[in-house]
Amino acid sequence: MIQAVKVSLEVLNDRLDPYDHLEEILDKINRWEPKVNAYAYVENMGKLKEDLGRQLKRKGRLSGVIVAVKDNISTSWMPTTAASRMLSGYIPPYNATVIEKLLYEGAVIIGKTNMDEFAMGSTSENTPYGPVHNPWCLDCTAGGSSGGSGAVLAYGGADLALGSDTGGSVRLPAAYTGTVALKPTYGTVSRYGLIPYANSLEQISPMARTVKDLALLYNTIKGDDPRDSTTLGVEQEYPIDRVDPGKTRIAVIRELMDGVDEGILKIFWNTISLLESHGFTIDMVSIKSLRYSLPAYYVIAMAEASSNLARYDGVIHGNRVKECRGYWDCAAKARGEYFGVEVKTRILMGAYVLMEGYSREYYVKATKLRRLIRDSLAKLFKDYQAIISPVSPILPPKLGEKLEDPVKMYTMDVMTVTANLAGIPALVQPAGIISGFPIGIQWMGPVFSESRLFGLASIVEDEVGVITPLQ
């Protein structure tokens, strides 16, 4: 086993007794969960202690490390519901590949985190478990859809966490909770065992409190998987690169700066000055095609969602209603009863953009825009080694505020969806605090540039410091 990344987790450095450490985490969960509601399920203490004893013997790169997992990633001994009543009570017959990898390396899976139903949302409010509250501001959203994973890390309810990112779902929560997250290059992490939303866009994604921990988790879960034909046969480690400022040109994209909150801008430009003082060259450039990222993303995501979710018929897949007769009656009743409003909307919209007669207008056009966006970024990366941008145009909204108007919620993703359309890696980290809110910045680079992004983020982290867990 290669220990590619120096570990910052104290439990791994033997500075903490692993059993005390577990108890401390459970203590924090007891203290914070009534206010934050970030876990959908927490394993009981007895089972966790057993797991810990067994996992410590493995001596893997995560031995004794406590990991929280988003509720749409399959675990064979814990419920996996994707926060949908359609799947309540479901315990998968197998583990996701990423779970197998975590267990192999000695991790202890503490529980499943709350999220938007089927990962559709930006606020972690579309959930039958009740909304996730942001530990920094209890009546604000923690972002979504992996808001539970972000919130748990922010208050110290786990060492590391997994989320999934289809259009920003680990990055928005990271920005809103003062944690770090990586949406990896498409195809570097297996999706086997991830309950699908939009296959061509999403990746299971690591979340942590420090860049080192993030790199460690990414290196644990990445890799080719014969069970997922979209994984790439590239077996390499992604250590944290030492980035040479003299050889690194960074682009700020004008189209990703529109309508951004003043406080967020302040932190963003402070970060730019900091990087300039390190000797980086930073230019403002324009990529017109990025104006179409958001509409292209939502058309493609909804199209894929409608075809993915067609499997839930309440007969073969998903929960069955008590009273129904025949396949179509049972399917209609189960879907009517168990899917939430946002999920129903997306299935209908997705079916619409795929309909004969409309698909050329919408779906086919969106895929063409996607190609345009991907090509213009590839061109940019000939001259620039990375892009830096804000993560969200706004501070964490109050809970309830975005629910009335889904389009307003969709615009929260305007800076994050581009990386999913292009399949490139994107890392979010905290860069400061303003009016009591942590503010994130986003790094993007060409495919497979994770090591460089870790290196760039480390430079900022060394200056800004680590801002969670909260007390």
To ligand GLN, the closest distance from the beta carbon of 429 in angstroms equals: 18
Start-to-end C-alpha separation, the chain: 35
Contacts of 193 (CB under 8 A, 6+ apart): 73, 74, 92, 94, 95, 96, 97, 98, 99
Q: Which of 163, 455 has the CB closer to ligand GLN?
A: 163
- Starting at the edge strand found earlier in the chain, the sheet holding 249-253 runs 39-42, 108-113, 66-70, 160-165, 203-208, 180-183, 426-434, 437-444, 386-390, 249-253, 281-285
Q: Which of 252, 260 has the CB closer to ligand GLN?
A: 260
Q: Which of 168, 440 has the CB closer to ligand GLN?
A: 168
Task: Give the residue from 163, 194, 185, 188 showing the smallest Cα distance to 68.
Answer: 163
Q: Which of 145, 231 has the CB closer to ligand GLN?
A: 145
Q: Would you put residue 163 in left (φ > 0), alpha (ψ -120 to 50) or beta?
A: beta
Decide if 393 contacts 259 (C-beta within 8 A).
yes
Q: Which of 119, 464 has the CB closer to ligand GLN?
A: 119
Decide if 254 contacts 417 (C-beta within 8 A).
no
**19-22 contacts at long range (C-beta below 8 A, 24 or more positions apart):** 19/49, 19/52, 21/64, 21/66, 22/48, 22/49, 22/52, 22/66, 22/108
Decide if 431 contacts 468 (C-beta within 8 A).
no
SS3 category, 470: coil
To ligand GLN, the closest distance from the beta carbon of 164 in angstroms equals: 6
To ligand GLN, the closest distance from the beta carbon of 174 in angstroms equals: 12
> Does residue 84 have an active-site annotation?
no
Q: Which of the residues 63, 149, 164, 169 is marked catalytic?
A: 169
The closest residue (CB) to ligand GLN is 169
To ligand GLN, the closest distance from the beta carbon of 409 in angstroms equals: 7
Q: Which of the residues 70, 183, 222, 402 is marked catalytic?
A: 70
Q: Which of 169, 418 has the CB closer to ligand GLN?
A: 169
To ligand GLN, the closest distance from the beta carbon of 340 in angstroms equals: 12
To ligand GLN, the closest distance from the beta carbon of 161 in angstroms equals: 15
Q: Between β-strands 180-183 and 426-434, what pairing exists: parallel, antiparallel or unpaired?
A: antiparallel
Tokens standing for residue 25: 């985490």
> Does residue 149 have an active-site annotation?
no
To ligand GLN, the closest distance from the beta carbon of 162 in angstroms equals: 13
Helix or strand (DSSP H, E) at 349: helix 341-354
Contacts of 427 (CB under 8 A, 6+ apart): 180, 181, 182, 183, 214, 442, 443, 444, 450, 453, 454, 457
Q: Which of the residues 63, 122, 124, 145 is marked catalytic?
A: 145
To ligand GLN, the closest distance from the beta carbon of 298 in angstroms equals: 7
> Does residue 112 have an active-site annotation?
no
Q: Which of 197, 443 has the CB closer to ligand GLN?
A: 197
How far is the C-alpha of 400 from the C-alpha of 402, rounded, in Å? 6
Identity of the residue numbered 58:
R
How far is the C-alpha of 95 from the C-alpha of 92, rounded, in Å? 7
Q: Which of 114, 166 has the CB closer to ligand GLN?
A: 166
Residues lying near ligand GLN in the complex (CB under 6 A) are found at 119-122, 145, 164-169, 197, 301, 413
Looking at the annotation, which residues are catalytic? 70, 145, 169
